[in-house]
């Protein structure tokens, strides 16, 4: 049990070290933006990620006309 835990911790530590080296070696020190919204071709076609579409759908439309609820005068 202890050997398995130490092996798992060692593998995770090596993974973090390799990721850190990758960031240091790259030109701008950043990973590429692989988000759907960061892709030019997807934006040209009007494709957005689900979170962006949901956020846009939840915005209130400033041009919308509010319905009048049954008001008694």
- pLDDT tens-digit readout, 10-44: 999 999 998 888 778 877 767 667 778 778 888 88
DSSP SS3 for 25: helix
Q: How far apart are CA 37 and CA 46, in angstroms?
A: 10
Instruction: Report pTM.
Output: 0.40
Domain annotation covers residue 54: yes
Structure tokens at 22: 């990758």
Tally of domains within the chain: 1
Domain membership of residue 41 as a residue range = 33-58
pLDDT at residue 44 in the model: 87
Residue 50 has pLDDT above 70, yes or no: yes
- Residue from 15, 13, 35, 12 nearest 23 by CA: 15
Domain annotation covers residue 43: yes
Domain annotation covers residue 16: no
Domain annotation covers residue 71: no
Tokens 């990758």 belong to which residue? 22
Domain annotation covers residue 65: no
Q: Positive or negative, the Cα torsion across 39, 41, 44, 46?
A: negative
């Amino acid at each position: 049990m202890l050997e398995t835990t130490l092996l798992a911790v060692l593998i995770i530590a090596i993974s973090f070290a390799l990721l850190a080296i990758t960031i240091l070696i790259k030109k701008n020190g950043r990973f590429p933006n692989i988000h759907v919204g960061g892709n030019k071709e997807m934006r040209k076609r009007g494709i957005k990620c689900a979170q962006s579409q949901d956020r846009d759908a939840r915005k209130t439309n400033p041009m919308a006309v509010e319905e009048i609820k049954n008001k008694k005068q």
